[in-house]
Structure 1
Amino acid sequence: MAAKRIAMRKIREVLRLRFNAGLSIRQISASTKISAGSIQNILKLAEQQGLSWPLPDDLDDQALALTLYPSSDARPSAKFQQPVWPEIHQELKRKGVTKQLLWEEYTQQYPNRCYSYSQFCARYADWLKRQKRSMRQSHRAGEKLFIDYAGPTVPIVCASSGEIRQASIFVAVLGASNYTFAEATWSQGLPDWLGSHVRAFEFFGGCPALLVPDNLKSGVNKACRYEPELNPAYQQLAAHYDVAVLPARPYKPKDKAKAEVGVQLVERWILAKLRHQTFFSLAELNHCIRALLTELNEKPFKQWPGNRREWFERLDRPALSPLPKHAYQYVAIKTAKVAIDYHVQYDQHLYSVPHHCVGEHVEIQAGERLIEVYFQHQRIASHVRKHHPGTTTEPAHMPEKHAKHQQWTPGRLMNWAQSLGPEVLLWVKTQLGRKQHPEQAYRVCLGLLNLQRSFPAERLNRACAIANREGLYRLKNIKAILLSNRDRLADTSPLQTALLPQDHENIRGPDSFH
């Protein structure tokens, strides 16, 4: 029974301290917290068994205890009933199930052989650690910036209408120092996503080598474990700041553990403190966030000396790359096909490109003030952006005698229109005459003439007659007439009412009122 009273690993320690270190019994007792009588008994039994230091390699703790105490039970105590940890682990995945609930069920099942709640949680944590080994990530100074959005949103009340909008919280954390940036934006859309990156770089005063975002749609078009497809505008921002982007793998939160912890800290130390306040503008909310963010970055670490700001100044700031001369400005990117009239459309406005690109797919980059068109990574056109419907044509883009363009001419369009009816011809002539250059009307004329694929020529001619009479010169007007069957009505012209006779016995004239 002595082997149960004395931990098996302490028997080995007593022998080491006596035979190897040469300590006295009192010194061994002070070190191991074992009574002097028990130590003397262990040394006496060891001498009887002929044991010396070092012990044989094949003599483990259990075998050592049995050598000294042959009649004792050296097996681990079975006083407590071990929970079935795999079942506990699976139950915790269910919504609403907690460790507290499972512990209560465990105590009801084994009332006299159960662990306390703290032991239950500690032993479950130990079991969980043994199931899967995880490599602890080390981050070099200035290397990685982890990026994510917080889960909770913050309501903002419109002072004039009372409407409530929810603001998203952007969070960025540097890997080495844990220095944190946070701000509120109206959405998680692409303009806000990229704008938050720009402001984060300015907050840090430099650029990291690598961005590690979550697989948000604004940043990653197609999430993939091995080759994620980045949004073109996000790639453009990365090129502008000379940084690389490495999105976290889908369903692998440990890839961005720093962001997860940063989001948790922002939720606890910033959003939780602001939960009772009412905000009436985004600027007001960001002002409060910035003040609390300073407190968060200056809060001392629990297990390390210093705080985030001190570590940032010592580690990350010297290693960050300098910011470019000009900040990145958001540019929307869209792919379009050049129409027969050598124009591309963006936001209901038409912009010309060189005529030899007719039929090609080009990339439109739309900034706040400028529209640029690229073909095979070469800029082929640039226009001042217009925010209203219309057409912008550069004379240099117009063809003189080009094969692609010459397949359509005003004469060919009018011949086709005449074959459908005189009213169609009149409508096409009007369109060609309304534009500064006839080529600019080719698109809408072709759209009208191609309607014969869906409607008979007679109906198309009657619809054009209504449009000509009422001055309707947009293609959607013709389509509306045809779809509503208005062209099938007998006569839509104003009725001419017959004049009533002015001389009648029941009609009194001015002479009757003297």
Structure 2
Amino acid sequence: MARPRTAMRDIREVLRLKHEAGLSERQIARSMRLAPSTVHRYLERAERAGVGWPLPAGLDDAGLEAVLFPPLPPSRVPRTPPDYGWVHRELRRKSVTLQLLHLEYKQACPDGFQYSQFCERYRQWAGRVDLVMRHQHRAGDKLFVDYAGHTIPIHPPGAPAWQAELFVAVLGASNYTFAEATASQQLPCWIGSHVRCFEAMGSVPALLVPDNLRSGVRRSHRYEPLLNRTYAEMAAHYGTAILPARAGKPRDKAKAEVGVQIAERWLLASLRNERFTSLAEANTAIAAKLAWLDNRPFAKLDGTRRLVFEQLDRPAMRPLPTTRYEFATWTRPKVNIDYHVDVERHYYSTPYQLVGHRVDTRVTEHTVEIFFQGRRVASHRRSHVKGRHSTEPGHMPERHRAHLAWSPQRLIAWAQRTGPATAELVEAIMTNRPHPEQGYRSCLGIMRLSRRYPQPRVEAACRRALAIGARSYRSVESILAHNLEATPLPSDEPDNDPPRQHTGLRGPTYYR
């Protein structure tokens, strides 16, 4: 083993100080800040090799090392070398060390190498393996996920072509790869790909290592990245954790980078001449190529990705939960004075005591759940009808008042300051709702238009809305935005058309 250059420089200086300066070993040790035993060993080796000072001309560091540290003669006892591929795979198992593997090796081969030679020869063997294979990934520990840089063209019949994304997931220990085509990189596709990946593997890893894409990480940070709440909820459902790679640090997700490269070469490139008419058709072709890739033998190791996955990763991974994760999105709206929250333009009631507070809403395909300080306070069946209300009677206060300070009479009195037409429209809006509180939001919006427009214009817009039968904030806002409040109403327009005279008219004499 080659020694550092600093060691050879130290030996040269030790010989000079001893023979030229005449210093003692302890003085040399203090001067060079070396241990006295080290100085003594250097001088002893030089004396045995017959090396003095000055050194022979042309003797470089390699020559000096060969003279002072000659290689040991080969052992006459035959040694049984270990299976370094087996050592490499076993080191990925949790808590397995080289010391333990050497002990097992010596039990099987008593004539084998000692611990130092065992470690040295393994490191030399591992140095000849690809860099990606030298990372010590524990079995079942990390799943690296990312999207490929290349896309897959989809050509639907009778529709324009579009580009599908390729989701790629790679296990750290076995390099077992999962891939599928998705419609986009948006949150529903991102979560769905994870769920299908877990189900394809039949188990869940301990950690997920994603890139800093928006669907996974809302805000990247070196120490405390802010995760997307849906992504974090999905990980909690499957009992795993998320460890995002640092921004601008590709080595944190080297497995994903290489996995994407392999997927692009062996999946996308091999399918480059295929023409897919649907996402399902593309995924069928990808699944066939993926099965071939995972069963393809390694170039420098024994076995395949699937074989190593079955031996190493799967036994160490967590089992799937009994239920599949149901996709849900989270929002944080503020409870309005009508004790309802806005979720995609539909309004869901909360306990009226939460008026003015921020709440968390969890929206699934069929339900809307409302949480306050971590406790669920309301649950509704999801509705896709915009502009309507879902109100639970138990959330209403006595006499249907959302707050003691608010009432229909107060809103009408407030609207009266703008004008009688505004007050009449506010009253009509609350009258047309099953509960007056459901109209509070529209009424407040109409009255606040006076902050953007002069009060006479707002009053005229409300008068026009009453005339045409409009009973909403959006109608009044549209009238003002298009300057329609000044145009004459249909009933106000004078009839200037002259009477029509033609032979078909019977006239008043006909009826006498």
What's the TM-score once normalised by structure 1's chain length?
Answer: 0.72
1:20 maps to what in 2? none
Q: 1:453 aligns with which of 451, 454, 466?
A: 451
Q: Distance in 2 between matches of 1:508 and 1:431?
A: 48
Shift of 1:488: 2.4
Name the SS of the counterpart of 2:403 in structure 1. Answer: helix
Name the SS of the counterpart of 2:332 in structure 1. Answer: strand
2:192 maps to what in 1? 195
Shift of 1:374: 0.9
Give 1:437's aligned amino acid: H
Matching of residue 152 in structure 1 with residue 133 in structure 2: no
Q: Distance in 1 between matches of 2:229 and 2:310?
A: 33
Give 2:410's aligned amino acid: R
2:59 maps to what in 1? 63
Q: Distance in 2 between matches of 1:64 and 1:398?
A: 92
Give 1:256's aligned amino acid: K
Name the SS of the counterpart of 1:493 in structure 2. Answer: helix
Matching of residue 282 in structure 1 with residue 279 in structure 2: yes
Give 2:59's aligned amino acid: A
Equivalence map 1:138-149=2 (5 Å)? 138-149=136-147
The question of whether the paired residues in 1 share the 8 Å contact of 2:333 and 2:361 is answered with: yes
Name the SS of the counterpart of 1:420 in structure 2. Answer: coil
| Runs (5+) with no aligned partner, structure 1 | 1-50, 69-128
Q: 2:244 aligns with which of 239, 247, 253?
A: 247
Q: Distance in 1 between matches of 2:62 and 2:231?
A: 68
1:311 maps to what in 2? 308
The question of whether the paired residues in 1 share the 8 Å contact of 2:429 and 2:472 is answered with: no
Q: Distance in 1 between matches of 2:279 and 2:436?
A: 49
The question of whether the paired residues in 1 share the 8 Å contact of 2:352 and 2:397 is answered with: yes
2:421 maps to what in 1? 423
The question of whether the paired residues in 1 share the 8 Å contact of 2:266 and 2:293 is answered with: yes
Q: 1:218 aligns with which of 208, 215, 220?
A: 215
Q: Distance in 2 between matches of 1:475 and 1:174?
A: 55
Q: 1:233 aligns with which of 230, 245, 255?
A: 230
The CA deviation string for residues 218-271 of structure 1, in whole angstroms up to 9 with x for no partner, is 101111222211111111011111111111111111111111111111111110
Shift of 1:402: 9.8
The CA deviation string for residues 92-151 of structure 1, in whole angstroms up to 9 with x for no partner, is xxxxxxxxxxxxxxxxxxxxxxxxxxxxxxxxxxxxx9xxx9995201111111111111
Shift of 1:329: 1.5
Mark the CA change 1:297 to 1:57 in structure 2 (over 3 Å): closer, same or farther.
farther
Equivalence map 1:398-477=2 (5 Å)? 398-400=396-398, 405-477=403-475
Name the SS of the counterpart of 1:450 in structure 2. Answer: helix
Task: Give the number of aligned pairs.
Answer: 398
| Runs (5+) with no aligned partner, structure 2 | 1-45, 65-126
The CA deviation string for residues 351-371 of structure 1, in whole angstroms up to 9 with x for no partner, is 111100000011111101111
Name the SS of the counterpart of 2:362 in structure 1. Answer: strand
Mark the CA change 1:475 to 1:65 in structure 2 (over 3 Å): closer, same or farther.
closer
Give 1:468's aligned amino acid: L
The CA deviation string for residues 46-83 of structure 1, in whole angstroms up to 9 with x for no partner, is xxxxx997575997995179999xxxxxxxxxxxxxxx
Equivalence map 1:350-365=2 (5 Å)? 350-365=347-362
Q: Distance in 2 between matches of 1:424 and 1:65?
A: 97
Name the SS of the counterpart of 1:173 in structure 2. Answer: strand
1:34 maps to what in 2? none
Q: 2:317 aligns with which of 314, 320, 328?
A: 320
Name the SS of the counterpart of 1:443 in structure 2. Answer: helix
Mark the CA change 1:507 to 1:145 in structure 2 (over 3 Å): closer, same or farther.
closer
Shift of 1:504: 11
Shift of 1:459: 2.1
Name the SS of the counterpart of 1:364 in structure 2. Answer: strand
Give 1:436's aligned amino acid: P
Mark the CA change 1:261 to 1:62 in structure 2 (over 3 Å): closer, same or farther.
farther
The CA deviation string for residues 271-306 of structure 1, in whole angstroms up to 9 with x for no partner, is 001111110000000000000000000111111111
